[in-house]
Structure 1
Amino acid sequence: MRRVAGLARRAGRRLLTAATRRPAKRGPKPVALTMVAETEALAPDVFRVANVWHAPAFGAVLDDQGRVFSGSVREALVLTPTLAALPGARRQGETTLFTPPTDAPVFERATVFVNWAALHNYSHFLIEALPALRAVLDAGEMERFPAVAPPLLPWQRVLLRLMLGDQAAMPIEIEAPVARLGEALLASPAERFFDAPGPLLRAVRDSILANAALKNAALTDSPDTPRRLYVSRLGATRRVLLNEAELEAAMAARGYAIVRPESLSVRDQIALFRGAEIIVAQSGAALANVLFCRAGARIVEIQSNGREPVWARDIAGMIGADWRAFVEASSPIETEMLLAGDLRPDTAFSWRLDLEAFLAFVDGLS
């Protein structure tokens, strides 16, 4: 028995030694990220890629060689210029390395349509993400390539349902930081809303208005719908109008209803803009609702420094509305904001409106 026990102990030591000498199992090898443009167009504004990783919260799509498709991260680069904030990414010198996860959910086919800005901003979602999805829908590929998205907010789901109608499937919401897509469509419309709106955005508008009218009687002419709107940004933290309370009081005295879009449902916003004859608003995401105005409506955009993009003007032109701008001549007080660990100038500021000049401008339009 002692001999057997000795043999067992020696065998155990050999197994333990072998285990300690065995090399540890290695995970996926990191790859250096590089930027490439999408090339395989399945339809206008729709590109096909295969065997890719997708970070839903950033919109990012990249392949096993670390090639990041530029259309998918165009907006995310504002937050993270080096893409080091992507899940699984880290900075090494001047290179960003990505380590693929070992436990990512797998989708055989998918449509990617939500970029980083659309996830966080009403105007980007309405005027970029929805036309992107519309491009795939019009190409007849939605059934084969179901839409995927990061976890969505209730208002985003409402806009999607209004555009898709009651029959089409809603996007699959991915909770994981990274997913594996066997084959994917990247919807990246050339008609970006910063440039010129086109047929895709018009199709989004028509679908939303048609489906909203079925469920909201306020979209029809109603005596209770205010005809003059002032869209308030009181309480905003990024572009603070210091004398907005005074402006609101002056607009209310002129018969304008004071509207705070963040406190309203999507359907109520659509109804208000649809019924308005004149809308006064500062530059900002709420002006995306100009998309739902009637032809002939008058839009007055208050610009703090003349550097804001004029996408509201272009949308107004597309639907036959009249757009005017009032540009404040005084310089804004710029501050810095912390984005992805870096202080960025010119991302937040406060400013003051010349009330006398602006009110004279508005009164001259009546």
Structure 2
Amino acid sequence: MPSATLISAQSFLVDRIVPDCEVIHLPSADVPGGILKYRIAVSAFRSQERPRRLKFVPAQNITAPDGSIIFDFRHHSPGNWAHLLTMHLPLLFHISEQLAIPWQQALILMPKSAPRYARRALAMFGLKTLFTDDIVHGAGVEIIADPWQCFWPVRPDWATTHSVLSALHAAIAREDRQLPRRILLLRRDTRTLTNSADIVALTEPLGFEVVYPEDYTPAEQAAFFMNAEAIIAVHGAGLAPLLYRTKNSAHMKLVELFPCGHITSVFRFIATQTNTAWVGVRGKLRPEYVKPAYRLSKPYRRFSLDNFEVDPRSLMLALRKLEIAA
């Protein structure tokens, strides 16, 4: 993963007399792989996800339809839009191709509580699904991925095969809504911008239109990343369709907005794999963020979903670095 830039809010942390924005150099880094094994076997597939039930109900036994090949994706939070699009589905696309399993034969097991948008994403590719927390008997693919993220370096190739892109472009062609070329991708429930009015006022004159992903179909969300020339996005699941850009896609520019409690390199890495120029912008620090950030023996997760404020100055620096603003 090549080096990149993260820009912080204006503060006295750069100069105690003249406040300024920190421009942080993120060094290049290796993204490790791992071991991926899979085989077709007759088995009893049990959910690894904890069912969301008010009271315990023993799992029942279900037999898969004859001719189906089971892919049990009831693990690693498949109800999360980003996990489903960037982990589970690329794994399905790769394994089905390697084992010559037609998509029509694949039966995708998902938790009974899987949200509507996850169901719509699977339907977009025409996949057969079974939403259940029960034990399912039949022929299926047993998968060992160690670690689970071991295929990060190669998953863009798996998500942009001819069959995947054909299904995706067919779904996009069925939509008729005009989509913006410059997008400000915001969130409503968590990680919302507390000064969104300031950010809209800054970006609107540059041609950016506010978009909330949940207001659009999965196909339209994929189209954002295939057709847009520039996107400013709050870090989160709304960025998942970035993976479905090909190496030959038209060059795109991406500014990723982070709350201090959730800085990751996930989409920075995908950007480098999909002909996308990337700059990160970190929101303002709060006093309660500081001490836990230096407790290196514990995960830094407590503030992950906090709403946050982005300094318009730091965002403007990012836009200038990407030559979106003068």
TM-score by structure 1 length? Answer: 0.61
Q: Quick one: distance in 2 between partners of 1:157 and 1:141?
A: 24
Q: Quick one: distance in 2 between partners of 1:205 and 1:249?
A: 36
Q: CA deviation at 1:202?
A: 2.2
In structure 2, the residue matched to 1:156 is: 118
Larger Rg: 1
Q: Quick one: distance in 2 between partners of 1:304 and 1:332?
A: 14
Between 300-309 and 145-154, report the one with greater CA deviation. 145-154
State yes or no: 1:137 paired with 2:96. yes
State yes or no: 1:321 paired with 2:276. yes
- For 1:232-271, list aligned pairs within 5 A: 232-233=186-187, 235-237=188-190, 239-271=191-223
In structure 2, the residue matched to 1:117 is: 77
Q: CA deviation at 1:183?
A: 5.0
- For 1:190-339, list aligned pairs within 5 A: 196-198=152-154, 200-206=155-161, 207-217=163-173, 225-233=179-187, 235-237=188-190, 239-293=191-245, 294-305=249-260, 307-328=262-283, 330-331=285-286
Q: Which of the pair has the greater relative contact order for Cα pairs under 8 Å at 6+ separation?
A: 2
In structure 1, the residue matched to 2:61 is: 104
Residues 268 and 278, structure 2, Cα contact 8 Å, conserved in 1:
yes
Q: Quick one: distance in 2 between partners of 1:110 and 1:277?
A: 39
Q: CA deviation at 1:329?
A: 5.1
Deviation string, structure 1 residues 117-144 (Cα, Å, up to 9, x no partner): 122x111010111022123312326467
Q: CA deviation at 1:353?
A: 1.6
Relative to total residues, which structure has the larger helix share, 1 or 2?
1
Q: Quick one: distance in 2 between partners of 1:194 and 1:361?
A: 31
1:232–1:104: structure 2 CA closer, same or farther, 3 Å change rule? same
In structure 1, the residue matched to 2:294 is: none
Q: Quick one: distance in 1 between partners of 2:196 and 2:270?
A: 26
Q: Provide the identity percentage.
A: 20
Where 1:349 maps in the other structure, the secondary structure is coil
1:114–1:136: structure 2 CA closer, same or farther, 3 Å change rule? farther
TM-score by structure 2 length? Answer: 0.67
Q: Quick one: distance in 2 between partners of 1:100 and 1:53?
A: 15
Q: Quick one: distance in 1 between partners of 2:171 and 2:136?
A: 38
Q: CA RMSD in A?
A: 3.8
Residues 113 and 186, structure 1, Cα contact 8 Å, conserved in 2:
no
Residues 36 and 143, structure 2, Cα contact 8 Å, conserved in 1:
no
1:158–1:246: structure 2 CA closer, same or farther, 3 Å change rule? same
Q: Quick one: distance in 1 between partners of 2:200 and 2:144?
A: 39
Residues 114 and 125, structure 1, Cα contact 8 Å, conserved in 2:
no
How many residue pairs get aligned? The number is 268
- Where structure 2 has 5 or more consecutive residues not aligned to the other structure, the ranges are 1-34, 290-300
Where 1:352 maps in the other structure, the secondary structure is coil
Q: CA deviation at 1:333?
A: 5.8
- Where structure 1 has 5 or more consecutive residues not aligned to the other structure, the ranges are 1-42, 61-75, 77-82, 91-98, 335-343
Q: CA deviation at 1:315?
A: 1.2
